[in-house]
Amino acid sequence: MLHSTKLKNCTATYRAKGHLEETIRFTFAAPDRVCIESSAMHEGRRFDDTIWSVGDRYIRRSMDGRGFEHADVPLAIPTLGDCEALGVALERAFPSSVDGEAERDVGTGAGIDSRFGEFRLVVVLSMSSYFLKRITGAAEEFELVDSSPSADEAAFTIPPPEPGSNDASEEDRCFVLYYCGRVMSYSITRFAKEARERDSIADEDFTRRLASVYDVENRRHRRDRFAQMRDSMNQWSSDAADLFRRQRSAVEIDPDLRGTEDQWIAVQRRAIVESLQTVTEAELDSDSPFPPPTLADADPHVAALIAEARRRSLAATVESEVTQPCLAYFDEQVRAVQSKK
């Protein structure tokens, strides 16, 4: 979906062939209104799955011939709107030179971790309609059957779960969080690596450009984590302000304590910065919420450039999204104490 900025209302039907034959219908009404329906027969049993990405929700209804299953998950995961923003960031950082081609082989191994297979995966994308036309070489092969430049609103009528349906929301939340994040991170890295080879981009320029893409990914995909970090640090600032208030009261009793306020404030501000630097390194080590992209065919030098771009971006986004807001909150709390005589 890195090219979804070009995609308008549409419906596309695909045929998938693998261990079973499956029909998949994709309806796109907006970046936050997508429906994917699939149906298949296997060993005399019918399998039906419908997944909606609507607003800030991921919703699923399934039937496997023996029972029903459903899921309803908050989309604190890469939405199609996130994909659009990342697509814009990628095109800005690494402008494509293939706009005039009718279709493009977008590479081998795109969207998979090649450690889990030695096969060649070829993805062919129509550059005129931006429909995925064909995927070959995977466990399943996909082929576009038909498409239409419109979206049927009836596809977005979501039925309630069937009586007795199994609630698989937690399982789906974990799977979607991991899978979408890993594929998106891998796709970004793959796109950037191919652009570097195509355009002979110098090391520092490549690192700077890729960091700008990770900036967008971090602000969107780590927004909940950043909010948690701000809340935690702001609570610490509020507690520190209470301590400061008590210290000021103590100064009135013991004049020898006067003159230590500025030093105390500087120490507390430095503690905020150092604490968030430690958290940033921990975030980078664990790469929460998404694991680091894997490029089995990347040489160590390129892998080091990618790691440096991730490090720079995370440090910069933590600074802008957490550190500076938290310091501003701390300063506000201190001023509130100082203003009270």
Which stretch of DSSP H or E encloses residue 270? helix 261-286
Residue with tokens 């009586």: 163
Q: Decide if 72 is inside a domain.
A: yes
Same-domain check for residues 31 and 174: yes
Pair (255, 193) in one structural domain: no
- 49 exposed, middle or buried (CB, 10 Å; 0-12, 13-18, 19+)? middle
Gap between the Cα atoms of 292 and 278, Å rounded: 19
Domain range enclosing 69 = 4-200
Residue 313 lies in a domain: yes
Same domain, 183 and 159: yes
Question: What's the DSSP call for residue 158?
Answer: P
Last residue of a domain, one of 200, 225, 255: 200
- Do 37 and 161 lie in a common domain? yes
Per the domain annotation, does 110 fall within a domain?
yes
Whether 186 and 237 map to the same domain: the answer is no
Please report whether residue 208 resides in a domain: no
210 domain residue, yes or no: no
Do 65 and 181 lie in one domain? The reply is yes
Per-residue pLDDT of the chain (341 residues; tens, 9 = 90+): 333 444 568 888 888 777 678 888 888 888 778 898 988 887 778 889 998 988 878 899 999 878 899 999 876 555 556 767 888 888 899 987 544 433 443 333 333 332 223 333 344 444 344 455 554 444 457 777 888 888 888 999 999 999 999 999 988 877 776 666 666 777 788 888 889 989 999 999 999 999 999 998 888 778 888 898 899 999 999 988 888 888 777 666 666 656 667 778 888 888 888 888 887 777 655 554 444 444 545 578 888 898 899 889 988 998 999 999 999 999 999 888 888 76
Which residue, 184, 213, 189, is CA-closest to 83?
184
- Considering the domain architecture, whether residues 160 and 269 belong to the same structural domain is answered as no
- Asked if residue 232 and residue 172 are part of one domain, the reply reads no
Q: How many domains does the chain have?
A: 2
Domain membership of residue 247 (yes or no) is yes
DSSP 67: -
Q: Could you tell me which residues are beta bridge partners of residue 71? A: 60
Which of 200, 226, 261 finishes a domain?
Answer: 200
If asked whether residues 220 and 250 sit together in one domain, one would say yes
Pair 141, 255 in one domain: no
Q: Are residues 46 and 190 in the same domain?
A: yes
245 and 132: one domain? no
User: What's 18's domain CATH number?
Assistant: 2.50.20
> Could you tell me if residue 287 is left (phi over 0), alpha (psi between -120 and 50 degrees) or otherwise beta?
left
| Residue 205 domain flag | no
